[in-house]
Amino acid sequence: MATATKKAPKKSAEAGATAEPKLRIRVRAYEHKILDLSVKQIMDTANRFDAKIVGPIPLPTEVKRWTVNRSSFVHKDAREQFEMRIHKRVIDIMSPNPKVIEALTNLNLPSGVTIDVKMV
């Protein structure tokens, strides 16, 4: 008769280390030039307050495509194709202090740039 032995639970690498808070900023825009200027502005603001920055990390560009008939009835083969590209970047700010967070909230970025800020 075999005896069942209990296995000890595995410890992950993150459980042993202290989890330091970090600010994850996801920036999205339709034009990559405006996106890069906004990311540079965010990084300059964080560097001004001596925050440790990881990034900007480029994420895959999201492409949405549509095909539309040019004519409504007879000319079925005449079609137009449109696409919309959404460029994305991620910036991580490790252990941000309140001054960095306040400076980032007061940042004035160009229109067409959306920002998602999350504490991880």
Task: Give pLDDT tens digits for 23-53.
Answer: 899 999 999 999 999 999 999 988 888 888 8
- For a pLDDT cut of 70, what percent of the chain falls above it? 85
CATH number for region 21-119: 3.30.70.600
To the nearest 10°, report the CA torsion of 13, 15, 21, 27: 50
Average of per-residue pLDDT values in the chain: 84
In angstroms, what CA-CA distances link 73 with 52, 79, 91? 60, 12, 50
User: Is pLDDT above 70 for 17?
Assistant: no
Mean pLDDT (whole number) for 60-67: 95
Rounded Cα distance, 83 and 104, in Å:
32
The domain limits of the chain are: 21-119
The string of pLDDT tens digits covering residues 65-120 is 999 998 888 888 889 999 999 999 999 988 888 888 888 888 888 888 998 888 88
User: Is pLDDT above 80 for 18?
Assistant: no
Higher pLDDT: 84 or 2? It is 84
